[in-house]
Amino acid sequence: MILRFAYLFAFIFLLASCCYRYHIRIQPSDAQLFINQQPIETNGDNYLVFSSLQKQIFLEVHKEGFVSTYQKVSQSIPWQVKNIAVNLKKKKYPIGMKTVDPQESIVVDTHEAKKKFIQLNLEHGKHRIKIISKNQQPYEFSLFIDQTADYLFRYQSQELPISPLGIYHCGPEPKQVVFSPDDHYLFIPLLDGLGFDIFDCRSRKVRQTIKPTGYANETGFVEGIFVSDKNSFFVSQMTTGLVFEYDYKPQEKEVVRLKRVISTGGVWSKVIAWDNHQQLLAVSNWLSNDIVLIDYNTGKVVKSLSNIKVPRGIVFSHDGQYLYVAAFAEGQILKYETQDWKLVKSVNKKGAAMRHLVITKDDQYLFASNMTHNEIYQIHTDNFTIAKTYSVFYNPNTIELTPNEKYLFVSCRGPNHPKGYTKPSLINGKIYGIDLEEKKIAFTIEGGNQPTGLDISHDGKYLAFSNFKDQQIELYLITELYKEHLVERN
């Protein structure tokens, strides 16, 4: 009797311990595997052995850029190993490409060169693009494809250490471009528009145009700035002397919501700067020749710095001790103490037209653009003297430092039209990349008609600039400038 129970117990134990084994091989090996909706750690191996008490399991395999697979697998004989191979296929996307000059040709990987427009289904991943212009060296670059898109490219006459991501339409006369704090959007104030565009950097399309309620019949939107601590975007409208503050709500459908309208009391309000120490906004007023200082909490003007001949670029030092001002008509760069708002030093360049200012994180150097003499100045903030001068193309406008401060980018509008600067230029402008460590011009980018606004994403991956008279913005991937942080995706 005891022996019979022992056999029965052993039989029951054997049945209970029956398992079905699966030898699963996955390509690519770093794809994410789910079995019965539970994630399975593969540690990058391209195979694993999985045991189950069930005769049937449900497999899911996912990887970005690949077509996911879903399948049920059955095993009828316990203890045997069933081999399962899962080979994911790369996604393919319909892609259209053309160049600004329809006489140029495009080659994608090994596909035959075609003029005007090329349409292909391209796999997810990096592809090699070549633009062929008559009697010129081919212009080559890499492009990462991860969605359906149409691309417009511009031929470049020299090899660049950065890669174009396309040219995109926007509203009339884009005066500035500003990356949102999360780099998801590009905000584009429109000088000849009734507001500003919000360009989605992921879909590469203008998501919406924001027109301030009650002020939508006036053009003249010039400059914008994000203040992350307040979760706010400020934009100036020079025709009304107003500054609009918007709540930035990236998780919501509308993205921004008008919070309040601030009057500067000045004429042709342009550049906005922020000082976190005193919680002040500074705004330069082009025609009333003053800088107004606005208390953030009340929205009221608390101080005015007057008798500045056509002020434009302004920037606070990071320690909050100084405000720097570019006086466009006087050829001056002015240094004010913020404790008592006294002018303490100045740089004077006779006949210059100082436009834009940026400052290094350690507050040691200030950079300024001079439109008249086509120069960029690097200025010691301590003794307030020019340490280095860089010669660039006609009418340098906006300047911007990369986050690691190794490069300074400059948008050069190009020569004015003979009948006036407000008309489209007869020659396209350029973007300059200045290597600040080597202290030289590293490369130039051929731009469109009057490149004006310019910004670099906070993560240092992207360069954006606007072609003022073309109603366009251009995007570039600039991670090639940071070899130690080079990424595969754009």
d(CA 490, CA 486): 10
* Exposed / middle / buried, residue 9 (Cβ in 10 Å: 0-12, 13-18, 19+): exposed
Please tell me the predicted confidence (pLDDT) of residue 190: 98
Chain centre distance of CA 468: 18
Q: How many helices and strands (H and E) does the chain possess? A: 1, 42
Nearest CA to 59 out of 51, 48, 71, 49 is that of 71
**b/e sequence 13-31, b meaning 16+ C-beta within 10 Å:** eeeeeeebebebebbeeeb
Distance in angstroms (rounded) separating the CA atoms of residues 458 and 64: 24
Give the model's pLDDT for residue 445.
98
Q: Are 392 and 374 in contact, with CB atoms under 8 Å apart?
A: yes
Cβ atoms within 10 Å of 224's Cβ, excluding its own: 24
Domain boundaries for CATH 2.130.10.10 within the chain = 165-485
Phi, psi of 292, rounded to the nearest 5 degrees: -105, 145
- Side-chain half-sphere CA neighbours of 204 within 13 A: 21
pTM: 0.90
The answer to whether 382 and 361 have CB atoms below 8 angstroms apart is no
**From-to residues of CATH 2.60.40.10 in the chain:** 92-159
Class of domain 18-87: mainly beta
Structure tokens at 123: 């796999």
Burial environment of residue 451 by CB neighbours within 10 A (0 to 12, 13 to 18, 19 or more): buried
Beta carbons within 8 Å of 378's beta carbon, 6+ residues apart: 365, 366, 367, 386, 387, 388, 389, 390, 436
pLDDT of residue 482: 64
Here the tokens at position 383 are 């003794």
> Edge-to-edge, what's the strand order for the sheet holding 205-210?
178-179, 185-189, 196-200, 205-210
Q: Say how far apart CA 288 and CA 309 lie, in whole Å.
A: 9
Whether CATH 3.30.365.10 fits 165-485: no
Provide the 3-class DSSP secondary structure of residue 483.
helix
At which residue do the structure tokens 């090994």 appear? 110
- Answer yes or no: are the C-beta atoms of 115 and 101 closer than 8 Å: no
Rounded to whole angstroms, the Cα distance separating 227 from 234 reads 8
Give the integer Cα–Cα distance in Å for 407 and 393: 17
**Which residue, chain included where needed, has tokens 């022996």?**
3
Comma-separated ranges of CATH 2.60.40.1120 domains in the chain: 18-87
End-to-end Cα spacing for the chain: 75
- The answer for residues whose C-beta is within 8 angstroms of residue 354's C-beta and 6 or more apart is 312, 313, 326, 327, 328, 331, 332, 333, 368, 369, 370, 371
Q: Which of 5, 6, 47, 7 has its CA nearest to residue 26? A: 47
Q: What is the pLDDT of residue 483?
A: 56
- Backbone Cα Rg of the chain: 29
φ and ψ of 186, to 5 deg: -120, 120
The pLDDT tens digits along the chain (490 residues) read 555 544 444 444 444 456 888 888 899 988 999 999 999 887 666 667 788 888 888 999 999 999 999 999 888 787 678 888 899 999 999 999 999 999 999 999 988 777 778 899 999 999 999 999 988 999 999 999 999 999 999 999 999 999 999 999 999 999 999 999 999 999 999 999 999 999 999 999 999 999 998 876 899 999 999 999 999 999 999 999 999 999 999 988 899 999 999 999 999 999 999 999 999 999 999 999 999 999 999 999 999 999 999 999 999 999 999 999 999 999 999 999 999 999 999 999 999 999 999 999 999 999 999 999 999 999 999 999 999 999 999 999 999 999 999 999 999 999 999 999 899 999 999 999 999 999 999 999 999 999 999 999 999 999 999 999 999 999 999 987 765 443 333 3
β partners of residue 337: 322
User: Which 3 state secondary structure label does DSSP give 78?
Assistant: coil
Order across the sheet with 269-275: list the strands.
Answer: 269-275, 280-285, 290-295, 301-305
> What six digits make up the tokens of 36?
């019965």
Q: Where are the beta strands (DSSP E) in 53-138?
A: 56-62, 69-74, 81-87, 92-99, 105-108, 114-115, 118-123, 125-132
pLDDT at 6: 47
Phi, psi dihedral angles at 265 (to 5 degrees): 75, 5
Two tokens, residue 176: 């500035």
Q: Does domain 92-159 have CATH number 2.60.40.10?
A: yes
